[in-house]
Amino acid sequence: MEYRAGPHARGDLASTRRDAAAFLDNLTVQNSRGAKGRQNWIAIWTKAGDSHCLLADLKIENGMFGEATEAWLCALTAFEVARRLVDESDAQSGDVLAKVEAGVQRFVSALQQKMERVEIACCDQTGFLAHYLPADRPDSFCPAVICISDEEETGAMLLGRLLPVVIGRGMSVLVVSREDLSNHSRSQSESLSNCLDFLSTQPDVDAARIGVYGDGLSAALATDFAASDRRVAAAVCDGGLWKWTRTVAFLEWMTRAPDAVDQDVVSTRRSQLVRRIRCPVLVVAGRGIVSVSHAIQLQADCMAARIDLELVMPRVSRAPEEEVENFVTSDDCVFGWLDQKLARNSTSQPSTSDQQI
């Protein structure tokens, strides 16, 4: 029987995200008809996003701003699914990206909360721009998260993906572009500390509950930042695996031996950087630079050393020549973990087993 998971015109965010998650979980089945079938699904999800945009405009005209906001979030979710399906060399790629970024801009006008493009000031008289979304509970101190985009994404693209996840959580979010950090004259960790300085001065932010989330390759930046700035209260990062992998590869290259490093030394080196992090850590294995096998070994090392490190493995489906991550379940898991770790007076204990999300 042919699987038919896809977008439905129910209009509520929960249903749209369930449809998206079910579709991505069954992507191998969806693509069984090859490139033509994939193009059809790109068109279906793009059309669904366009329909939600039209619905949002209608709700705004009728003064129904809450329902308009939900329709925009549905549109952003649908466009993100389409973006995951489009090959970078495909002519449609630019069109879908434009829809995501335009969706974010149009969403701002419908948003009852205040979302700003803010400048992060630095000590050397320079600065860079970031997207700032204050928490939707202005009457109390709320946690905040600094989100760093992958090197192949703009800050607006990451914001478009995360808005449906963070709205309603009572959490402030500062989205920073990896490219902006890389182009800045000072160190990236120092620039991220400036981001934390900015959040600490916001009247709705609890300065003791600020976390960091590095998406994709930026997971390594989040590790360095959490290790260098002890104000970070929770970190979604690579746990130092990128630096460890490079070190081992360099030693093996220098010695021309595949097993040049003693296993006890390997264990110590593997957890060396994460030992400097004084906050809870979540490593998303299989995403970007973090291999599953190395992440499992790191978790075992951290458990032995009583380091609060948890590991999750996202669900992926195989499409022609690539794997596509179920971003819906992954993002829900990541921000659910951040909710837990940044909760006021949190007494939660680290997990002792791997999770698949």
Angle at which helix 155-166 crosses helix 327-341, to 10 degrees, equals 70
Q: What is the CATH number of domain 116-356?
A: 3.40.50.1820
How confident is the model at residue 279, as a pLDDT? 97
Mean pLDDT of the chain: 84
- Mean pLDDT to the nearest integer, 100-105: 85
- Mean pLDDT to the nearest integer, 291-313: 90
- Report the alpha-carbon angle 328-324-222, nearest 5: 65
Q: 157-188 pLDDT, tens per residue?
A: 999 999 999 998 999 999 999 998 877 656 89
Q: Kindly state the percentage of the chain with pLDDT values over 70.
A: 80
pLDDT band at 356 (very low <50, low <70, confident <90, very high): low
C-alpha closest to that of 212 among 95, 224, 251, 204: 224
Helix or strand holding residue 309 (H, E): strand 309-313
What are the CA-CA distances from residue 235 to residues 96, 145, 157, 292, 349 (Å)? 31, 9, 21, 18, 15
Looking at per-residue pLDDT, the higher value among 248 and 296 belongs to 296
Beta bridge partners of 212: 146, 235
pLDDT band at 1 (very low <50, low <70, confident <90, very high): very low
Which among 119-128, 241-250, 256-265 has the top mean pLDDT? 119-128
Q: Kindly state the percentage of the chain with pLDDT values over 90.
A: 49
Looking at per-residue pLDDT, the higher value among 308 and 96 belongs to 308
Q: What is the pTM of this model?
A: 0.90
Lowest average pLDDT, out of 36-40, 190-194, 303-307, goes to 36-40
Lowest average pLDDT, out of 29-43, 263-277, 294-308, goes to 29-43
How confident is the model at residue 29, as a pLDDT? 60
Q: 14-28 pLDDT, tens per residue?
A: 999 999 999 999 887
How confident is the model at residue 35, as a pLDDT? 66
- Mean pLDDT to the nearest integer, 310-331: 85
| Same fold across 13-110 and 116-356 | no
How confident is the model at residue 107, as a pLDDT? 80
- Residue 192's CB is within 10 A of a number of other CB atoms, namely 26
pLDDT at 8 over 80: no
Burial 131-165 (b: 16+ CB within 10 A, else e): bbbbbbeeeebbbbbbbbbbbebbbbbbbbbbbbb
Termini Cα distance of the chain: 26
Spatial separation of the C-alpha atoms in residues 111 and 68, rounded to whole Å: 8
Domain boundary assignment for the chain: 13-110, 116-356
- Report the alpha-carbon angle 75-81-87, nearest 5: 130
CATH 1.10.3210 fits 13-110, yes or no: no
C-alpha closest to that of 273 among 325, 221, 312: 221
Lowest average pLDDT, out of 124-128, 169-173, 230-234, goes to 124-128
Helix or strand holding residue 60 (H, E): helix 35-61
Spatial separation of the C-alpha atoms in residues 65 and 62, rounded to whole Å: 8
- Mean pLDDT to the nearest integer, 227-247: 91
pLDDT band at 3 (very low <50, low <70, confident <90, very high): very low
- Report the alpha-carbon angle 78-81-87, nearest 5: 135
What are the CA-CA distances from residue 342 to residues 199, 218, 335, 336 (Å)? 15, 21, 10, 10
pLDDT at 42 over 70: yes
pLDDT at 150 over 70: yes
